[in-house]
Amino acid sequence: MTEEMKLNQTLLASLGKMKSWRKQKAEGKKEAREVSSRMIPPFMASNAVLQDRLRVAKLFSVGVAVVCVGVVGLQEWRFKGALEHALNKEFLIVPGVVDFMRVRPGVIPENVVFFFSEFMADQVGTFTYANVGERYKRAAEFMSPALRESFLMELRKKEKDYRELAVTEIFSPVPVSKFEQLKDEAGSPYYLVHLRGTLERYSNDQKIASEEEIFTLKFRTTRIVADKPWFFELTSLERQSSEEFARSESAKERFAKSEGEKNL
């Protein structure tokens, strides 16, 4: 036998031993895995499923939290924008209006003038002998100092008679639809409103009069302060029957006409 043949046999033997060793090693690992599988407690599989579900629940919770934070952030952003938009408006507190009125700066809606006029006419024109003092004092809150003094003085003179005669007055106005914007002698602007309506007067629950009456109101805008949050201030209040009002307007027209002729 040559040396080459001996070398080949030696190599073949080494390969056979190697294959046998690998086979034994693989079989040993398989047996070890089987033994390990048999040694695993029965609850480990359930615990693995539970852990997997907990991971899914955590991911879901994190996702929900992120969505909620995003929604809240969006709402805050929208609220901030709405607030900034609102702050660019003016809010009026007007008697006779059941809510705040938002308007553009420097602009007074016509219906605000109408609301105030009708409120004042109702406050002064409708009362009973039991609440006349309360209603007149409430109306006086919206008057200029000079008008308030004369108005309350008139109340003190008449209140006793109202109580003795058990007087009740009800003024039913016709909704006002127009007004005038004028200037006084000092050049200050004011509103002039003629409010027409029907006045019914009762004494001891007996109707004693029913006539058409006209309220003439002059009021101006005023600065809002802490103890006076109203936007209008009444400077003149006059009550006339329709006949008296017609005579007064006729006299004013004649006076204006004569003044115009003098200037010519």
What amino acid is encoded at 9 in this protein? Q
CA dist 231 and 45 (Å) reads 78
Q: What is the pTM of this model?
A: 0.59
pLDDT in tens, 8-62: 566 556 656 666 656 656 665 555 454 444 444 554 455 555 566 667 777 777 7
CA dist 235 and 192 (Å) reads 10
Q: Could you tell me if 173 and 197 are in contact, meaning their C-beta atoms sit under 8 angstroms apart?
A: yes
Q: Could you tell me if 206 and 132 are in contact, meaning their C-beta atoms sit under 8 angstroms apart?
A: no
**Angle CA 71–73–76, to nearest 5:** 110
Q: Using the structure block, give the residue that is written with the tokens 């127009």.
A: 178
- All residue ranges of the chain with pLDDT < 50 are 32, 34-40, 43-44, 83, 86-89, 98-100, 103
What pLDDT sits at residue 37? 47
Q: Which two tokens stand for residue 39?
A: 């040694």
CA distances 120 to 14, 66, 126, 142, 215, Å, are 121, 56, 10, 9, 9
What pLDDT sits at residue 98? 47
Determine the longest span between alpha carbons in the chain, in angstroms: 161
Q: What are phi and psi of 93, to 5 degrees?
A: -105, 105
CA dist 120 and 228 (Å) reads 16
What amino acid is encoded at 140 in this protein? A
Residue count of the chain, please give it: 264
Radius of gyration of the chain (CA): 48
Element holding 134 (H helix, E strand): helix 132-140
What pLDDT sits at residue 260? 61
What pLDDT sits at residue 127? 94
The string over 169-179, giving b where at least 16 C-beta atoms fall within 10 Å of a residue's C-beta and e elsewhere, is bbbebeebeeb
Q: Using the structure block, give the residue that is written with the tokens 């008139």.
A: 154
Question: In whole angstroms, what separates CA 166 from the centre of its chain?
Answer: 43
Environment class of residue 81 by beta-carbon count within 10 Å: exposed (0-12), middle (13-18) or buried (19+)?
A: exposed
Write a three-state SS string for 44-113. HHHHHHHHHHHHHHHHHHHHHHHHHHHHHHHHHHHHHHHHHHHHCCEEECCCCCCCCEEECCCCCCHHHH
Residue 231 gets which letter from DSSP? S
Environment class of residue 249 by beta-carbon count within 10 Å: exposed (0-12), middle (13-18) or buried (19+)?
A: middle
